Amino acid sequence: MVRKSKYKWLFSFLSHQIPWVSSFFILVFSFVFIPCCNVKSTLVLIPIFFWGMQKTKSFDFISVMLFGFLQDFLDGTQFGFNMFIFLSTYFVVYYQKFFPLDESFTFSYLAFSIVTLALILLKYCVISSMFVENINLLNILVSWAVLILWYPIFFIILKKLDERFVRKYNA
């Protein structure tokens, strides 16, 4: 019993880092994973949506903004586009006022699908009209489908991390 209380501060510190670290690993994974089209899928939207839904204290707007800038840098897009998409996703999930988000997989999958489709279409419409003219709708939909197909896998992993560490040590 003494050992658990002795290392509680360490477990609490590590549980605060889980949202950051998991989001960073998914961001890195999205650049290692090669999609079947020329439009990169933004897999880091999954942990942003998930941690926004959980309302954890250790994943805030500044974290989302930094991941947006990092995604912009790695993508080679204009600075601010991914940050806008990430912050919009986080705002929609974190500040929803009309209905409480259910933590069930079905509801979160449907909400994630709708929110990301709208924001990704907006992002690529702006990019294709201003900067890159050869991006077509099929590539955008394939990129969104890749994002939607990876959602269940990452949702399960993040849910287990949340239950085992983040909620247990009050992050």
Give the burial string for 147-165 (b: 16+ CB within 10 Å, else e): bbebbeebbebbeebbeeb
- At residue 2, the pLDDT reads 46
- CA 67 to the chain's CA centroid: 9
SS3 letters across the chain = CHHHHHCHHHHHHHHHHHHHHHHHHHHHHHHHCCCCCCCCCCCCHHHHHHHHHHCCCCCCHHHHHHHHHHHHHHHCCCCCHHHHHHHHHHHHHHCCCCCCCCCCHHHHHHHHHHHHHHHHHHHHHHHHHHCCCCCCHHHHHHHHHHHHHHHHHHHHHHHHHHHHHHCCCCC
- At residue 103, the pLDDT reads 66
- At residue 153, the pLDDT reads 93
Domains of the chain: 7-166 (1.10.1760)
Handedness of CA 26, 29, 31, 34 (dihedral sign): negative
CB 101 within 8 A of CB 53: yes
Q: What is the pLDDT along the chain (171 residues), one digit of tens a residue?
A: 445 567 777 777 777 888 888 889 988 888 776 555 555 668 899 999 988 888 667 788 898 999 999 988 887 777 888 888 899 888 888 877 556 656 678 888 998 999 999 988 887 777 766 666 666 778 788 888 988 999 999 999 998 888 887 777 764
What's the predicted TM-score (pTM) here?
0.84
| Side chain identity at residue 143, one-letter code | S
CB 81 within 8 A of CB 126: yes
Tokens of 87: 């912050």
